[in-house]
Structures are given as structure tokens and as C-alpha cells.
Amino acid sequence: MSISLEEVNRIAKLARLSFNETEKQKLQTELSSILEYVDQLKEIESKVEPQLFDDPDAVNLMRDDVAIKIEDTEEFLKQAPGREGKFVKVKSVLE
């Protein structure tokens, strides 16, 4: 599909852009090649059957969320990047 210079002018006007004649020629060529590529994609799309991405045999691989009591809290707090007393200190979420 080819695009005319009038269409390039109309698109430039709608976008409130100004181009010299050389730039308009270049845009005409580039836009025409883009539209030709889109036409090719449309042709391919009509020949390809859509595939479902929902796999009925899929298994949830997540583990159960189980709370574990930590006996040695001091050992746990040593691993924290920051602490304040017996609490883990994190960056403020709400300011």
C-alpha cells in the first residue's frame, strides 16, 4: 500500500508537525513500507490458526504457605539489613 504526499501532509498537519519537501519524501517512503509490512502481517494472520494459551493440564507448582516458628530470633535478626530493637527495619512505604 502506497501513501501519497497529500496524506503525509494531512498526517503532519494533524500531528502539528512541519517538514520540508525532502523530509516529506522520506516520510512517504517510510510510511509506505510500514503499511506494506502491516499488510503482510494481515495476510499471515489470516492463514494462521489461533492457539489457546490456557493449558488444561497445567499444574500449580506453588508450595503451601506454612508459618514456621523461629526459635532463635536473634539469629534471624542478624540476617536483616537493618533492625530496631527486636524488629526488622525497612524503608518507609508511605511518606
pLDDT greater than 80 at residue 52: no
pLDDT band at 61 (very low <50, low <70, confident <90, very high): confident
Query: Minimal CA–CA distance to 79: which of 89, 94, 68?
Result: 89
Of the listed ranges 7-16, 48-57, 73-82, the one predicted with least confidence: 48-57
Note the pLDDT of residue 93.
81
pLDDT greater than 90 at residue 90: no
Q: What angle do CA 7, 46, 44 make, to 5 degrees?
A: 75
The domain ranges of the chain are: 5-47
What cell was used for 58? 497445567
